[in-house]
Amino acid sequence: METIFNCLIDSFIADKVGLAEHFLNVPLAAQLKGNLNTLFDSNQLREAGIGNDSVLTQDKLIRSDKIYWLDPKHNDLHENNFFLLMDLFVRHLNSTCYTGITGYEFHYALYETGSFYKKHLDQFRSNKSRAFSMIMYLNADWQQEDGGELRIFNEGNTQTIAPLNGTCVFFKSSELEHEVLVTNVPRMSITGWLKTD
C-alpha cells in the first residue's frame, strides 16, 4: 500500500490534486458497493444537505445525492476494513508530510441517474477542521458516456476525473472548488475528510 499512498501524495504535491488508482482494491470496493446497495434497498440513505449541523439545508438545485455515514459503531466488517486502510494512510501521511491529521469522517454517496452537485468548497466558514477531501469510487465498468465526472477548478484550469472503480482523489478542502457533473447512470463513492483539531 505504501506505493499507492506515495502515488497519491506525490501527485497531490505536484498538482494540488492527488490521484491513485487501486487505492481501494477490487474486493473491498465491491464489498463497500454491496453495503451501499443494501442501504439503498432498505431505504436508509438520506438526502444530502448543504452546510454543517448549525446551518444545514437541502436544495436539490445545488445537490441531489443521497448519503449514509460510516461509523465504527456499525461494527460492519467491510467498513472496519476501510477504517483500517484509512488509519494506515493517515499514519503514512502524518509521518511523511507532518500534516497533523487527528481524525476523519466518511459517508457513502449515491448519485442516482440525473443527479449532480454544483460547484462548491468543502471547508465550512464556521469550522476549519476539514483539512483534506478524499473521494474513492465504487463504479465498476464505468464508461465515458455514463457522465458523473468530478470537475476540479485549480488556479484557472479545470481537471475532469472519471469516477473509476477503486480510484482515490485527494485535495485540500479549503483550496479547490469542485463539482459533480450530471450522471447518466447510478454513481457510487465513499466521500469524506481528513480532519485536524
* Domains of the chain and CATH, by start: 2-48+59-195 (2.60.120.620)
Residue 136: exposed, middle, or buried by beta-carbon count in 10 A (0-12, 13-18, 19+)?
A: buried
pLDDT recorded at residue 55: 55
Asked whether 122 and 156 are in contact (CB, 8 A), the reply is no
Q: Which residues on neighbouring strands pair with residue 110, listed in sequence order?
A: 66, 188
Residues in contact with 177: Cβ distance below 8 Å, sequence separation at least 6, in sequence order: 119, 120, 121, 152, 153
- In the chain, the amino acid numbered 100 is G
Per-residue pLDDT of the chain (197 residues; tens, 9 = 90+): 999 999 999 999 999 999 999 999 999 999 999 999 999 999 999 998 766 555 556 666 788 899 999 999 999 999 999 999 999 999 999 999 999 999 999 999 999 999 999 999 987 666 789 999 999 999 999 999 999 999 999 988 999 999 999 999 999 999 999 999 999 999 999 999 999 98
Q: Can you give the length of the chain in residues?
A: 197
Helix axes 26-41, 77-97, angle to 10 degrees: 130
Return the H-helix or E-strand segment holding 85. Answer: helix 77-97
